[in-house]
Amino acid sequence: MPAPVRFGITGCGYIGAEQARIIHSLPGAELIAVHSASGTGARRVADELPCDVENSLESLVARDDVDALIVATPNHLHREPVTVAAAHGKHVFCEKPFALSVEDCDAMVAACTRAGVTLMLGHMMHFYPGMRRVREWIESGTIGRVLVAHAERTGWEEPRPDVSWKKVQDTSGGHLFHHIHEIDLLLWFAGAVASVRAVGGNLAHQGEGFGDEDDVVLLTLTFADGGFGSMQYGSGFRWGEHLVKINGTEGAVLIDNKAASVFLKVGDAAPQQFGLFDDADSEESMQALFKDVDGGSTYGSPTDRPPLYLRRAVRDELACFIDVVTGFPIDDDKKMLFDGSAARASVQVAQAALQSLRDGAPAPVAP
């Protein structure tokens, strides 16, 4: 048996703390030390789990007993820990979004390539069994050539006593970046984007109790192969949704998160329903979430635990990372998560959408 992969974690909020719990429980992994900017999150994790607390990123990555670093810091603070970890020869698992600019993405990939360390990006929806099923249908031609794709991740936000960094444009990147999963999925299912047109604004969430991100963002996409896409994001929707639709020449797919289900329609036949997950417990946990919240515009608190379906997806992706670090080959359908291409492409589209919002015109997305 290979030696366990010894982990450090920087960023101990909603996802980082859960990653610490998962690493502590995974065979082949060992949680060594954690770090957070304020120290509060790291101390909370260390009180729960047997691990050390480091007061700085530098002292964490300098440890000889740390093989890999999980980067779960706020979205705008990924570049430094990734590049510093790589410079110290540590493998890196970085949470989504990879960065808030393509420039930062390229710098992080280059740093890990130079150092010869493994880099993986945390696009956890690639580990939902239903999402992989949709990808297989598209690749096999079950729904024919993709013509149009649509995604919605919307809901309504009430004021909060403390405004999270997740609601501030400069730190989260807004809905386009913080909820970048849907951009990633459309690229995975429909291919590269040639241009994007975006409109939006902060229409109903200004003042005390809110951040400054746009609460309505609407996108139209032109795919490189000539197909089209549309997206709706934001917390300014009283009728919230969380779904993806893919329409092809021979059929269509609906991914309905509220139902924790995937629907396949081929030709004139009645739609077939499949679970988004392979186990009833995960499906029930997703369905239960949407009984409490209307739509997909949700944010976790550092003191909350993610629902079961998210915990299982994070466990699967971290287990995949550990396998690769210990020498197992990367599955073909996961290579895009290890070479940075999927994460970079998603950031590139989100960045172009922001440019379109500022300019009031379509923005090209370089091939």
82, 92 Cβ separation under 8 angstroms: yes
pLDDT tens sequence across 51-75: 999 999 999 999 999 999 999 999 9
pLDDT in the model for residue 87: 98
Share of the chain above pLDDT 70, in %: 100
Q: Which helix (H) or strand (E) holds 263?
A: strand 261-266
Nearest of 345, 143, 96, 121 to residue 262 by alpha carbon:
143
Please spell the DSSP secondary structure of 165-233, one letter per residue: GGG-HHHH--HHHHTTHHHHHHHHHH--EEEEEEEEE--S--STT--SS-SEEEEEEEETTS-EEEEEE
Cα angle for residues 189, 193, 194 (degrees, 5° grid): 155
* pLDDT band (50, 70, 90) for residue 124: very high
pLDDT at residue number 294: 84
> Tens digit of pLDDT for each residue in 224-243?
999 999 999 999 999 999 99
Backbone angles phi, psi at 232, to 5 degrees: -130, 125
Within the chain, all domains assigned CATH 3.30.360.10 are found at 126-303+346-364
Digit-coded pLDDT (tens) for 242-273: 999 999 999 999 999 999 999 999 999 999 99
- CA of 190: how far to CAs of 133, 139, 221, 228, 267, in Å? 14, 10, 11, 9, 19
What are the tens digits of pLDDT across the range 300-346? Answer: 888 899 999 999 999 999 999 999 999 999 999 999 999 999 999 99
Average pLDDT, the chain: 97
- Residue 264 DSSP SS3: strand
pLDDT at 192 over 90: yes
**What residues does CATH 3.40.50.720 cover in the chain?**
5-117
Does 194 have pLDDT greater than 90? Answer: yes
pLDDT of res. 111? 98
Assess whether pLDDT exceeds 80 at residue 205: yes
pLDDT band at 292 (very low <50, low <70, confident <90, very high): confident
Q: Cβ(26)–Cβ(315) under 8 Å?
A: yes
The CATH T-level fold of domain 126-303+346-364 is Dihydrodipicolinate Reductase; domain 2 (3.30.360)
Residue 299: pLDDT over 90: no
User: For 29-59, what is each residue's pLDDT tens digit?
Assistant: 999 999 999 999 999 999 999 999 999 999 9
Give the pLDDT band of residue 22 (cuts 50, 70, 90).
very high
pLDDT at 1 > cutoff 80: no
Fold of 5-117: Rossmann fold (3.40.50)
Q: Which two tokens stand for residue 332?
A: 């073909």
